[in-house]
Structure 1
């Protein structure tokens, strides 16, 4: 069990775990998940951590088929500027390794902004906290679990 799975279990939220054999040579963990699980790329959401100009970190959750728009996430996080956070800051603040960062059960719950497109699906997939392990759950349950905000943040 990962901290993300434990969080959902303790919250009594309905979810499914999906596991697949992760290929260490892959450079796109989300696309690999979509392919291995036979799920459309629009339903697999990646968790990206950004550093804001006010020295805070925030989480952006976008479909793996898109890119995170730095101007839009900065605006949604009420900041002037956002850049991708340094890998060591991501791992230290979330407790997860890159490629397996879950929006759930992070060491320190960061401000979380989810792309508005998440509402287009009955269920979505996010990392369960390790490469090759995904959690499927309803968008509403995910938003509630991370105390998230919806905004257009992808391009």
Structure 2
């Protein structure tokens, strides 16, 4: 499959080193936990990308550890909103250009504000979707923060 996704092209253009990890996916289980197992990474390293909408800012993007839940109050506070809700699944592709199970925080249709759980700074390498189901990007967390211009905070719970 070895595709160059929008996310990979942006990393190439920015001269950011990364590794692509391909795996066989099952549409009935697109979880980050399964992706981590299939690419041989600890779940602590695999971050899922969620699309939300704030009452003041509109669409925002959150990256949290794959087996954690989004902490909506934390995301609201960090993003300058009073209230934040995850967008309905049917809106994800029109907003981002990506399909469920393949949403990357890099290379969306628009440059939405990105927020990441600060726990990712403790990692040597972090993995996010490369923009396709069955394809993960593995890179340095600081490079991911820089390329997405992410703001860090406590936005997830176990």
TM-score range (shorter-chain normalised) is over 0.9
- Greater mean alpha carbon deviation, residues 124-133 or residues 81-90: 81-90
TM normalised by structure 1 equals 0.96
What is the CA distance between 1:55 and its match in structure 2?
5.8
Of 37, 40, 59, which residue of structure 2 is paired with 1:38? 40
Unaligned stretches of 5+ residues in structure 2: none
The total of aligned residue pairs comes to 154
Contact 2:57 2:80 in 1 (8 A): no
Contact 2:56 2:80 in 1 (8 A): no
Contact 1:29 1:131 in 2 (8 A): no
Unaligned stretches of 5+ residues in structure 1: none
CA RMSD of the aligned region, Å? 1.0
Of 87, 101, 104, which residue of structure 1 is paired with 2:103? 101
Partner of 2:31: 29
Partner of 2:120: 118
Of 73, 76, 79, which residue of structure 1 is paired with 2:78? 76
Contact 1:112 1:149 in 2 (8 A): yes
Question: For the residues of structure 1 that align with 2:107 and 2:70, how far apart are their CA atoms?
Answer: 22
- Greater mean alpha carbon deviation, residues 35-44 or residues 85-94: 85-94
- Point out 4+ residue stretches in structure 1 off by more than 3 angstroms: none
Matched, 1:88 2:87: no
Matched, 1:19 2:19: no
SS in 2 for 1:126: strand
Question: For the residues of structure 2 that align with 1:97 and 1:17, how far apart are their CA atoms?
Answer: 18
TM normalised by structure 2 equals 0.94
SS in 2 for 1:103: coil
Contact 1:17 1:134 in 2 (8 A): yes
